[in-house]
């Protein structure tokens, strides 16, 4: 599956979770999946808790986050 197909799994709709990015067809926020991964939950554990998700949904979540920070400008802090 290519990146374009993965990103199509993410939906932004102002009528769902106040416009937060979610997995298409669900009310499961990208943020929620990223936080679970950040605290050490594995993809398999997430899939057990959320059987409506797929491995590709988790991959899409990570790709979406990577795309967001790709264009983020970082400036060194002045001491």
**Can you give the pLDDT at residue 59?**
97
Task: Count the residues in the chain.
Answer: 79
Q: Please report where in the chains the tokens 């374009």 appear, as a residue.
A: 4
Task: Give per-residue pLDDT as tens, 24-76.
Answer: 999 999 999 999 999 999 999 999 999 999 999 999 999 999 999 887 777 78
Q: SS in 3 state form for 29-54?
A: EHHHHHHHHHCCCCHHHHHHHCCCCC
Domain with residue 62: its CATH number is: 1.10.10.10
Domain range holding 57? 3-70
Residue 79 domain-assigned (yes or no): no
Residue 32 domain-assigned (yes or no): yes
**Rounded to a whole number, what is the largest CA-CA distance in the chain?**
49
**Can you give the pLDDT at residue 38?**
98
Residue 76 domain-assigned (yes or no): no
CB-based contacts of 73: which residues, under 8 Å, 6+ apart?
Answer: none
- Into how many domains does the chain fold? 1
List beta partners, residue 22: 11, 29
**Can you give the pLDDT at residue 77?**
82
Which uninterrupted H or E stretch holds 2?
none
């Amino acid at each position: 599956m290519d990146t374009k197909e993965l990103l199509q799994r993410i939906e932004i709709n102002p009528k769902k979770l106040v416009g937060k990015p979610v997995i298409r067809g669900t009310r499961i926020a990208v943020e929620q999946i990223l936080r679970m991964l950040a605290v050490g939950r594995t993809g398999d554990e997430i899939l057990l808790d959320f059987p409506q998700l797929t491995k590709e949904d988790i991959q899409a979540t990570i790709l979406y986050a990577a795309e967001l920070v790709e264009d983020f400008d970082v400036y060194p802090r002045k001491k």
